[in-house]
Structure 1
Amino acid sequence: MTLMSLRGVQERVPFSRSTIYAKIARNEFPAPIKISENRVAWDSAAIDAWITDKLQQAGV
């Protein structure tokens, strides 16, 4: 597992910060992991799985 910052996530998916957090609130995107009091990170495997799922849904 590799942890990714918000910037790293945004390099992988075409969403703004506000869109990412809105999708998280609607359970449409992987939630981050709290790694310290003021810092979160995303599991890269969860982001990869989300991307794979979206590509399969699109028939790609």
Structure 2
Amino acid sequence: MSLGVSCNRLFMEVELQSTVQAQALLRIDQVAERVQYGRSSIWAMVKAGTFPAPTKLSRRCTRWTNVQVDEWIQQRIHSGSSK
């Protein structure tokens, strides 16, 4: 019985870690590194509506979630592979 409880607990911990990782906030330099574009190119794409807009946390603080960035990367991969 305790084995089942520990397996369930482990599963819940892994699920929680996945959720926490999915909600990580990225700075512009982290986004630039991840997508291999420069900062000004990223902001130009945001303005053009071709890259997800960040969340404004305060007057001088904007962040992207890694989910937003990863989804954008996956869309680019899938659109490139269909051509």
TM-score by structure 2 length? 0.68
Map of 2:47 onto structure 1: 25
Give the root-mean-square deviation of aligned CA atoms.
1.2
Counterpart of 1:11 (choices 5, 29, 33) is: 33
> How much has 1:32 moved relative to structure 2?
0.7
Higher RCO (Cα < 8 Å, 6 or more apart): 1
Larger Rg: 2
Map of 1:36 onto structure 2: 58
> How much has 1:49 moved relative to structure 2?
0.2
1 or 2, which has the higher strand percentage?
1
> How much has 1:2 moved relative to structure 2?
1.0
Question: Is 1:49–2:40 an aligned residue pair?
Answer: no
Cα separation, 1, equivalents of 2:47 and 2:59 = 20
Q: How many residues matched?
A: 60
Gaps of 5+ in 2: 1-22
Amino acid at match of 2:44: A
